[in-house]
């Protein structure tokens, strides 16, 4: 398999690696760079566990070729905390028991982050829609929905 160079920013840090031509961003992140926060569930775009932001846009990293991310800014759940302080979404997920096995959680967090970046004060329906591509087999979704709404409230109080 021919190797191709890829260079992008991951959670604010420059990364440069050689990956197999045709390798997905998910594979590059997990197997080459060592960021295991995006999870490989279905590897075919249906579970959302691999969700990341590429240049601020929510992407399923199992469907993105790593070589198309040249020069991009990639954000994963591992990059949400700042200076050791959890992101409000992470705090709300913990406090609201919105993670059980945790497999879906990084993807849920990124889908929720994408929503709050676009819609700081979402409705419940907005949250349901935003996480509709992310499958959770444990929680029944309600704690996740409530956690996202709690984080949105915390964000708007911090901004006030």
The binding site for ligand FES (CB under 6 A) comprises 40-43, 45-50, 60, 62, 99-105, 136-139
DSSP 34-45: ----S--SSSSS
Q: How far is the CB of 10 from ligand FES (least distance, A)?
A: 18
Instruction: Quote the distance between the C-alpha of residue 46 and its chain's center.
Output: 15
Assess contact for 87 and 80: CB atoms under 8 A: yes
Q: Are 79 and 10 in contact (CB under 8 A)?
A: yes
Nearer to ligand FES, 96 or 159 (CB): 96
Nearer to ligand FES, 115 or 136 (CB): 136
Name the minimum Å distance from CB 159 to ligand FES.
Answer: 29
Sign of the alpha-carbon torsion through 32, 132, 95, 152: positive
The least distance separating ligand FES from the CB of residue 141, rounded to whole angstroms, comes to: 9
CB 148, min distance to ligand FES, A = 14
Query: What are residue 11's phi and psi, to 5 degrees?
Result: 50, 40
**CB of 6 or CB of 52, closer to ligand FES:** 52
Nearer to ligand FES, 5 or 63 (CB): 63
Cβ atoms of 75 and 52 closer than 8 Å: yes
């Amino acid at each position: 398999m021919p190797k191709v160079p890829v260079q992008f920013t991951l959670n604010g840090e420059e990364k440069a690696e050689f990956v197999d031509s045709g390798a997905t961003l998910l594979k590059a992140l997990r197997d080459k760079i060592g960021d295991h926060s995006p999870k490989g569930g279905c590897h075919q775009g249906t579970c959302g566990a691999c969700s990341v932001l590429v240049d601020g846009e929510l992407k399923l990293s199992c469907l993105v070729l790593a070589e198309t991310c040249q020069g991009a800014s990639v954000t994963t759940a591992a990059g949400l905390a700042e200076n050791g302080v959890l992101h409000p979404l992470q705090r709300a997920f913990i406090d609201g028991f919105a993670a059980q096995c945790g497999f879906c959680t990084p993807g849920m967090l990124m889908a929720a982050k994408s929503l709050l970046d676009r819609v700081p004060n979402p409705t419940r329906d907005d949250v349901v829609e935003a996480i509709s591509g992310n499958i959770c087999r444990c929680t029944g979704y309600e704690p996740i929905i409530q956690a996202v709404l709690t984080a949105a409230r915390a964000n708007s109080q911090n901004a006030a």
